[in-house]
Structure 1
Amino acid sequence: MTATTTGTPVLDAIRTHTASANPSAFLALNSGNSIFTMPGEDGIVVYRRTGRYAVQFGGPFAAEDAYEPLLDGFRRHVREEGRTLVGIQLQRADAERYARRGFTVNQVGASWAVSLPEFTLRGTRFMQLRNKISRARRNGLVVQEVPAEGWQQAIAAIDEAWLGSKGGARPLEFLVGQIGGEVQGHRRLFSGTIDGKPVAYISYSPVYGDRAGWMHDLSRRIPDDSPGLMEAINAHAIEVFRAEGVEWLHFGFTPFTGLDAGHELDGHSPAFQWLMHALWAEGAALYPAQTQLAYKQKWAPDLVIPEYVAFDGPQASLPGFAHVFRACNAF
């Protein structure tokens, strides 16, 4: 059966079934998602319908003995609807299982994470980062953790200015976090103000499993304001998280990054592999992967986690891949 995402069952599933170790799992709770379940099977599948495709987020969040029955059942359900299944942000363990079931699976990008217990901004490799943070602070930036409920108007104003600077870009969904809704209490919001005016924010989502911590998720700022806004907010959040004993700060998934032939599975599409490398080099108009990665690498990530896309069939599908971006509201 299918239903619109509701907080409690989805949250219970991603908290309980952490075998897939998907650091972006909390995005399953985004409004607009649908869930698929089967009687007697302990778990869920999260997806969105777009055109004649169903775009699945991650693998099934399920107990070990329910994983493959849920995947097979969802695959049948999608086909019965006359749609084609494509899965995005699969982890390595997911990718291997999908490949064994006849999906064409390729690496599509990577997510990045920093181990916090020993993290420090001291040393020459962080000198430029420290300079940017210092400049923001000299310009009067004040960073604090705030409740989202009291910051709604400020968030809307920052979002409007940020999207306007991108030529009226559409706000991304699905693979990007949200602020507000029934699960907002599980997220954390850090804001930046100058002279009392809100100028930037970063929202952090919880990460469960073996690398539990927080994910640096939705972040926006007023364009052409002080340099170093995001860096200063994130540095402040890191200090808070470290004081709390948090183990990991995740920076989330970036398509076309961290590509490595060693991550590919047998049966992958060489043509799609070539396309991912081409989009890394020349695909900024589709997604600014190089800019996103440059920000993440400022923090010297300790971990690069390959992520995968799976196409239901013997070959990769360009229309299917395009519908991943449609599900994200990219066009």
Structure 2
Amino acid sequence: MPSTPELPELTELTELTELTEVLDALQYSDNPSGFLALNTGNEVFTAPGLRGAVVYRTAGRYLVQFAGPLAPDADYEALLARFTDFAAERRKRILAVQLQRADADIYAGRGFTVNQIGASYAIDLERFTLRGAPFVKLRNKISRARRSGLVVEEVEPGAWARELDDIDGQWLRAKGRHTKELNFLVGERGGAGDAQRRLFLGRLDGTPVAYITYAPVHGSRPGLLHDLTRRRPEVPPGVMETINVTAIERFTEEGAGWLHLGFTPFTGLDEQYETPGSSPFVRRIVAFLATHGEAVYPAATQLAYKQKWGPHTVLPEYIAFQGRPRPGAVWRLMRTANAV
């Protein structure tokens, strides 16, 4: 067995070298949530002679991988093969989540069991409009929020930190005392990628009451990812929508291309999206969570918010198990995401 030093180093995304490697690798990603690779706590795998990086977290017997390899086509499969060897040397199994369809086909071809787990939603800003009957309720909510005196402005990511921490705390407490804040598959405030994010803040009578962060997106639909949304429980209806439409107007002026509304698990499920060899067991679990999983993730609420913007495309997203799916792998994923 090769000694550990002969393998690429296992490192956490904290040092400038790893940050630079992931930022460089993101240019190859066609995953609209790719920027989450920079989240605090992620680990980075690279291989000498190959471009790109694999981002993951260690969870018991598993390496829980975020997205597919962030790599150019010429190096993609070789990097995946090296990462698979890396896991085997450490007697770990790979569990990959938020794969795109192109990733899913490659993983299935390498013997992984791959199933659809949800979908992501995106707005083509060149075609976006709030005109017409379908958007009457949304227009009215935005109008009421503006009449309430709401002021929305873009601020530096590090600004108003104490006030935003307070908003975060109130938002989480309003979810219930047993609710945990999700991580890994959602963005963060602060951390290695903070300087790349954009922050739109809503204030009433000068006091910050809500905010939304946006992250850059590369690939075939470049633009921004609508990421964290936080608000005080008492804010009037329409505040979040007004913040988002203000950001949309800014991004449209800049020619941003697309606004991605992000991944929502257990939604957009369709047999036509499944890959050959997908697991009936996993399909049953995902279907059950789609119907009864609000305690794990508020998918219905998230989907309703995204659909009100009239997204122009729905992209299926996948989970891949190395070998046969095991309940322990799903548990590890949920623990990694802080869902349980």
Q: Same fold (TM over 0.5)?
A: yes
| Equivalence for 2:26 | 14
| Equivalence for 1:241 | 251
Aligned counterparts of 1:268 and 1:40: Cα–Cα separation in 2: 33
| Equivalence for 1:46 | 55
Amino acid in the other structure paired with 2:251: F
| Equivalence for 1:194 | 204
Residues 53-79 of structure 1, C-alpha deviation per residue, up to 9 Å, x if partnerless? 110001111122321121122112212
Amino acid in the other structure paired with 1:77: F
Report the CA distance between 1:162 and its aligned residue: 0.4
Report the CA distance between 1:289 and its aligned residue: 0.5
Amino acid in the other structure paired with 2:12: T
Three-state SS of the structure 2 residue aligned to 1:284 is helix
Aligned counterparts of 2:256 and 2:74: Cα–Cα separation in 1: 31
Matched, 1:287 2:287: no
Aligned counterparts of 1:182 and 1:28: Cα–Cα separation in 2: 10
Matched, 1:28 2:37: yes
Aligned counterparts of 1:63 and 1:245: Cα–Cα separation in 2: 25
Residues 192-219 of structure 1, C-alpha deviation per residue, up to 9 Å, x if partnerless? 0101111100000000011000010011
Residues 279-331 of structure 1, C-alpha deviation per residue, up to 9 Å, x if partnerless? 11111011110110000000010000000000000x32222122112111222
Amino acid in the other structure paired with 2:130: L
Matched, 1:225 2:235: yes
Report the CA distance between 1:8 and its aligned residue: 1.3
Aligned counterparts of 2:270 and 2:118: Cα–Cα separation in 1: 9
Aligned counterparts of 1:149 and 1:261: Cα–Cα separation in 2: 44
Q: How does 1:164-313 map to 2 (within 5 A)?
A: 164-168=173-177, 169-313=179-323
Matched, 1:4 2:12: yes
Q: How does 1:27-176 map to 2 (within 5 A)?
A: 27-168=36-177, 169-176=179-186
Aligned counterparts of 1:149 and 1:235: Cα–Cα separation in 2: 22
Aligned counterparts of 1:8 and 1:87: Cα–Cα separation in 2: 23
Aligned counterparts of 2:42 and 2:161: Cα–Cα separation in 1: 22
Give the aligned length: 327
Residues 37-62 of structure 1, C-alpha deviation per residue, up to 9 Å, x if partnerless? 11111111000011221100011111
Amino acid in the other structure paired with 1:4: E
Amino acid in the other structure paired with 1:204: Y
Aligned counterparts of 2:277 and 2:104: Cα–Cα separation in 1: 11
Aligned counterparts of 1:183 and 1:161: Cα–Cα separation in 2: 24
Three-state SS of the structure 2 residue aligned to 1:283 is helix
Q: Does the Cα contact within 8 Å between 2:215 and 2:225 map onto a contact in 1?
A: yes
Report the CA distance between 1:274 and its aligned residue: 2.0
Aligned counterparts of 2:150 and 2:326: Cα–Cα separation in 1: 47
In structure 2, runs of 5+ residues without a counterpart are 1-7
In structure 1, runs of 5+ residues without a counterpart are none
Aligned counterparts of 1:210 and 1:135: Cα–Cα separation in 2: 36
Report the CA distance between 1:264 and its aligned residue: 0.3
| Equivalence for 1:330 | 339
Amino acid in the other structure paired with 1:134: S
Residues 95-153 of structure 1, C-alpha deviation per residue, up to 9 Å, x if partnerless? 00100111000000000000011211111100011111112112221100011222211
Which stretch shows the higher mean deviation, 161-170 or 287-296? 161-170
Amino acid in the other structure paired with 1:13: A
Amino acid in the other structure paired with 1:76: D
**Percent identity at matched positions?**
53
